[in-house]
């Protein structure tokens, strides 16, 4: 006569480990979609009740593989778009007018937000967080500024800081 099991019973819980499919990122264990081997008690008492994992059945494994293929295709398309944007941004140069003294020192400074606003006004959707400045620009001149659109996609843009036209 088979014994009754609770809702969160882990099949094969007398084994020393069980395979689970992570439904979300779990620190020090794995990323969403990973199949990891854990102790039955950890799965039964923590991962399954919290909804962080499911038992790794053949059906679940197939569904994850199909999902991973779709996600990889979307990421590849996004990467392609970012590389195209990087190519276009690299050909563009930003001109920012600022007040400066006769020696060329700015009264203020040019920061990533200023560069981002200029790029957005030109039609390039680049946030200030993507612009990698070593510090604020405090003098007139031409600067080459790094832009990191993605961990795998970086580019540079030329930034011209010119004196503001006096009225």
133 and 112 in a common domain: yes
pLDDT value, residue 121: 94
69 and 25 in a common domain: yes
Give the DSSP letter of residue 104: S
pLDDT value, residue 7: 46
Is 56 among the domain residues? yes
pLDDT value, residue 107: 92
- The answer for residues whose C-beta is within 8 angstroms of residue 141's C-beta and 6 or more apart is 104, 160, 161
CATH label of the domain that carries residue 126: 3.10.430.100
Helix and strand element counts for the chain (H, E)? 3, 9
Is 6 among the domain residues? no
Q: Is the dihedral of CA 55, 57, 63, 64 positive or negative?
A: positive
The β-bridge partners of 93 are: 158
Stretches where the chain sits below pLDDT 70 are 1-15, 166-167
Q: What is the pTM of this model?
A: 0.65
Per-residue pLDDT tens over the stretch 29-52: 998 888 899 999 999 999 999 999
């Amino acid at each position: 006569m088979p014994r009754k099991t609770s809702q969160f019973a882990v099949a094969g819980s007398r084994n020393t480990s069980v395979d689970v499919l992570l439904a979300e990122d779990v620190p020090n264990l794995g990323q969403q979609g990973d199949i990891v081997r854990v102790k039955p008690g950890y799965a039964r008492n923590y991962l399954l009740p919290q909804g962080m994992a499911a038992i790794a059945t053949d059906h679940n494994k197939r569904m994850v593989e199909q999902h991973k293929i779709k996600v990889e295709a979307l990421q590849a398309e996004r990467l392609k778009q970012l590389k195209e944007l990087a190519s276009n941004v690299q050909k563009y140069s930003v001109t920012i007018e600022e007040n400066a003294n006769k020696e060329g020192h700015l009264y203020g400074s040019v920061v990533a937000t200023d560069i981002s606003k200029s790029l957005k006004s030109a039609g390039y959707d680049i946030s200030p967080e993507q612009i990698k400045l070593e510090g604020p620009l405090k003098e007139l001149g031409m600067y080459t500024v790094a832009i990191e659109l993605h961990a795998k996609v970086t580019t540079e843009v030329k930034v011209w800081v010119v004196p503001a036209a006096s009225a």
